[in-house]
Structure formats: structure tokens, C-alpha cells
Amino acid sequence: MQIYLPIADLPVNVFLILGMGLAVGFISGMFGIGGGFLMTPLLIFLGVSPAVAVATVSSHIAASSCSGAISYWRRRTIDLPLAGLLLTGGIGGTFTGVWLFTLLRSIGQLDITIGLSYVLLLGVVGGLMVTESVRAIIRGRQGKPVELRRPGSHTWIHGLPLKLRFKRSRIYVSAIPVLGIGYIIGFVGAVMGIGGGFLLVPMLIYILRVPTVTVIGTSMVLTLVTMASATVMHATTNHLVDAVLALFLMVGGVIGAQFGARAGHRISGERLRLLLGLLVLAVGIRFGLDLTLPPENLFMLRPLESSQ
């Protein structure tokens, strides 16, 4: 069954996009991430222009992180003050991101920037996750306890001023790195069309030493608000959010996420991180190949925006 997407201006198969929503939703539920880094490339592959893909995926991530955040809220594993402070930085980052997005689009360098950022970010994060989880698995095999939180190991980050106490996460940390992390996530999310969950979770764990109990719920609240505001900002500045496409992705996504979350409970944390790391790395490599292999066509067309 074909449906014509009004903003993307192309017909697509309804079941195909529902299926994509389901598949990405399953993965996002399993790993507790938004899944934007998978959905955006998939849409581009389908023929949706990168700009429309990035703008539309933000609303899809908002939906899946909303359903996630509600279930974490019920389990009382959300650190609201921490999420609030991250958000303050996040909104600023989103603003800068949407501004850069618009600028790059007008000079014709948006696609290459999206491609390059994917390679760099996914390559680095995926590589780190794989090595870290392999180490953890090896340690586990040797019978040593897996420690994520080493209370004694303070870095320069813990020496910064403006210290605040976050009760639910039981951390005492400066507001500056919290704002900074929020800013980076908001910025990256708006430019690349990703929620940044796969980036935020390790940052919270390794930099701020947030315990694993509260990390995913808190990250989901942040993703929810940054992505919902990115949707509004993209719609206001670039008019590129395709609500019809978004609706089908959302419906598939939230259903898939429920099943993914159940599957995720059956796998140990290290293995889950290893799988996610491999997935992230694979997408990064795919983008890297696209950038370095000679393109099928040396030329590319793009209608110039009518000045409104």
C-alpha cells in the first residue's frame, strides 16, 4: 500500500516504513536508546532527502523516548533535577544545532557534514563501547567483579566549582560539566538527527559517574525534551518535518520498543553494550565507505529554496 508523503514529496510503502519503525523501535527498546542514528540513514537510503530525514526523525525519537520515560517514571528511576540541568544546556545546543543545520543547508554542505559527523562520532563511540565491553566480559570470565563506579577516582571534572548534589543519583558534581554535556547532546542531535542517547549514557556514566539505575531514565527525559523542541524548531525554520512519515515511524517505533525492552532484559549488560557497540560501529563504517568510495554519480541536484 503506497502513501504519498506530503513534505518528503515521494510515495512510500506504508508497511515498509511501519516495519522500519518496528525494527528500529525494537533495537531502541533493547538498548534504551532513541535509535535515531539508525533511522536517519535508513530514511536517506529510502530516498528521503537528508534534511527531511533529520527533521522528521526528531519527532519519531520524541515518541519512543516518551513511552520509555513514562515506564522509567513509574519505576522512579529518573533524576529530575539532573535531567533539568542537562536540559538547560540541551536547549542551547539544539538552538545552535538548528542554526548550523540551516546554514550548512544553504551552502550545500549539509550532506557531507552529516556523513562526516556520523563517521567520526559513531566510529569513536562504537569503538570505545566495543573495547570497554569486551574488557568487561573478559574480566567477568576471570571472575573479577565488574565495577563501573570507582568512588575514589576523581578527575579534574570533580574539582570544578558550582557543585550541586543530586539526591536520586547520589552524586555531588559541578553544574558546569552537566550543562556542557547537555549542550553537546542538544547540538549533535539537531545537526545529525539523533537523540544522542548512545552518546549521553556513556558520558553520564564515565564523566559524571551517574549510577546505572538512574542513567537510562534520566537520559530518556533529556532525549524527549530536546527532540520535541528540535521538532518544533525544525518545523519553524526549515519547514521540513513530514508529519505523515513521522506518524508511521512513531507507531511502529513505540510498539517495537516494547518488545525490544523485554528482549533486552534477558541479555547481560556487557553483552548488550558489546552488541550496541558493534551496531554503532557498523553504521559508522557504512557512512565512511559512502564518503570515501567513488560515488555512482559525480553530480547531484538540489532545488534552490524559493526565498520566502
Partner 1 sequence: MIRSLAAISVIGCIAATTPAAAERLVTSLSEHRVMVTSSFNGSEVVLFGGIEREGGNLPGRGNYDIAVTVVGPRQDIVTFRRERVLGIWVNYESRIFENAPSYLAVLSNRPLEAITGDETLRRLQLGLDNIALPQRSDSDPANGTPSGVFRQAFLKLNDERGLYRQEPNGVTFLTPALFQASIALPANVPTGTYEIDVKLFADAAMIARTTSALEIYKAGFEQFVTSSAQNHGTLYGLATSLMALLTGWFASVVFRRD
Query: How distant is the alpha carbon of residue 161 from its chain centre?
Result: 29
Q: Exposure string (b/e) for 246-256, b if CB count within 10 Å is 16 or more?
A: bebbbbbbbbb
Looking at 135-227, which runs of residues are DSSP E strands?
163-166, 171-174
Among 15, 45, 70, 76, binds partner 1 (CB under 8 A): 70
205 contributes a contact to partner 1 by CB under 8 A: no
Report the distance separating Cα 150 and Cα 152, nearest Å: 6
Q: Which helix (H) or strand (E) holds 51?
A: helix 50-74
Give CA–CA dist 282/181, Å, rounded: 25
**Neighbour count for residue 112 (Cβ, 10 Å):** 12
According to the binding rule CB under 8 A, does residue 131 interact with partner 1? no
Does 218 contact partner 1 by CB under 8 A? no
Nearest CB to partner 1, comparing residues 62 and 171: 62
Q: Answer yes or no whether residue 46 interacts with partner 1 by CB under 8 A.
A: no
All three cell numbers of 24:
528500529
Whether 119 and 210 have beta carbons less than 8 Å apart is answered as: no
Q: H or E segment at 4?
A: strand 2-5
- Tell whether residue 143 is a contact of partner 1 (CB under 8 A): no
Identify residues 4-43 at the interface with partner 1 (CB under 8 A): 4, 6-7, 9-11
Judged by CB under 8 A, which stretch of 56-64, 141-149, 153-161, 207-215 contacts partner 1?
Answer: 56-64
Q: What mask of x and - would describe binding to partner 1 in positions 246 to 265, judged by CB under 8 A?
A: xx--xx--xx-xx-------
Q: Which listed range, 79-87, 163-171, 226-234, 269-277, lies at the site for partner 1 (CB under 8 A)?
A: 226-234
User: What are the residues binding partner 1 (CB under 8 A)?
Assistant: 2-4, 6-7, 9-11, 59-60, 62-71, 74, 108-109, 111-112, 116, 224, 227-229, 231-237, 239-241, 243-244, 246-247, 250-251, 254-255, 257-258, 291-292, 294-295, 297-304, 306, 308
